[in-house]
Amino acid sequence: MDVMKKYRDAIQKTIQSRGVDRNNRLDAAIDYALVSGGKRLRPALMLAVLDAYGLPWERYVEVALSVEFVHTYSLVHDDLPAMDDDALRRGVPTTHIAYDEATAILAGDALLTDAFSLIVDASVLSDAEKVRLVQILSLHAGSKGMVYGQMLDLLYEGKPVGQDMLEAIHLHKTAKLIEAPLMMGAVIGSPSDVSAWEKVGRLLGLAFQIQDDVLEVTSDESTMGKSLSDERNEKSTYVKLLGLDQAKALIGDIFLELQETIGTMEINVHMMHSVFDSVRKRIN
């Protein structure tokens, strides 16, 4: 069984039980972006870390949702005409197509802002934990993190990019928001392990992005549920840089390094291996 399913299901249930005012256009657009498909990878990773430390992960689903809010905002904004200009996301029309551009911008703004309320309002967290989680999530999402990666990504569209720059783009654009939930789980589970989880997130984020580059050429829009627009947007990818076979080999190397990295940690290592396997096997 997919070890991530129980976390994904809990996250989906919490998303669906949020009160939505259908007469409120902003609320409806936020719900539209959130509720549709989506692997829920990032919040599931936070719950998996808690579980790996033997903590009652079910109590932290709302906290983990904060990362899904930030991720969903980034997808809504990334799809806008000023960015990748995509029409399909999570198997449905992108938010600016289903609503309009201004509403999509505001829905993204609201998701980003509300993410931090989810942390601050969580009674399961101590005040010190809240501060640390807000610090990690904001640092990883903001001008030194994912948004910086998006800026680099746009600046290098159509330009030749070497492996160092490609890695810098993806370490920021993708890996930062995969590091964050792992580190957030560690803040609660074992604060002295936070930097070890940062390394795990860096590796997992990179592997995830290379996989995404591979799937961009080996899969199709209906399987992926999103527009595949790297070619149109002249994006640099690992497949273009290394070729398909070497890109796949690099993914394998990174997963081996991941297993080694968690091997010495005092966690349920077996369970985390299953988590990595489920990420590795993703087809969507």
Q: Which residues of the shown chain bind ligand GRG in the complex (CB under 6 A)?
A: 38-39, 41, 71, 74-75, 77-78, 83, 90, 146-147, 150, 173-174, 209, 212
Q: Which two tokens stand for residue 68?
A: 């899904």
Cα–Cα distance for residue pair 99/113, rounded to 1 Å: 20
State which residue, 60 or 148, has the beta carbon closest to ligand GRG.
148
List all residues 6 or more positions away from 215 whose beta carbon is below 8 Å from its beta carbon. Answer: 224, 283
* Minimum distance of ligand GRG from residue 214's CB (angstroms): 11
Sequence-ordered list of residues with C-beta below 8 angstroms from that of 118, at least 6 positions apart, any chain: 62, 63, 65, 66, 69
Residue 151 burial (C-beta neighbours within 10 Å; 0-12, 13-18, 19+): middle
Is the Cβ of residue 41 or residue 267 nearer to ligand GRG in the bound state? Answer: 41
Residue 139 CB, nearest approach to ligand GRG (Å): 14
Residues 6+ apart with CB under 8 A from 71: 42, 177
Cβ of residue 9: shortest distance to ligand GRG, in angstroms?
15
Residue closer to ligand GRG (CB basis): 71 or 140: 71
Q: How far is the CB of 173 from ligand GRG (least distance, A)?
A: 5
Query: Smallest distance from the beta carbon of 179 to ligand GRG, in angstroms?
Result: 13
Structure token pair of residue 226? 């999103």
Tell me how far apart the alpha carbons of residues 7 and 264 are, in angstroms, rounded to a whole number: 25
Least distance to ligand GRG, CB of residue 180, Å: 13
CA–CA dist 6, 75 (Å, integer): 24
Quick one: 231 exposed, middle or buried, by C-beta within 10 A (0-12, 13-18, 19+)? exposed
Three-state SS annotation for 65-81: HHHHHHHHHHHHHHCCC
Q: How far is the CB of 33 from ligand GRG (least distance, A)?
A: 10
| DSSP line for 96-165 | HHHS-HHHHHHHHHHHHHHHHHHHHT-TTS-HHHHHHHHHHHHHHHSTTTHHHHHHHHHHTTTS---HHH
Closest CB 147 distance from ligand GRG, rounded Å: 5
Computed on alpha carbons and rounded to an integer, the radius of gyration of the chain in Å comes to: 18
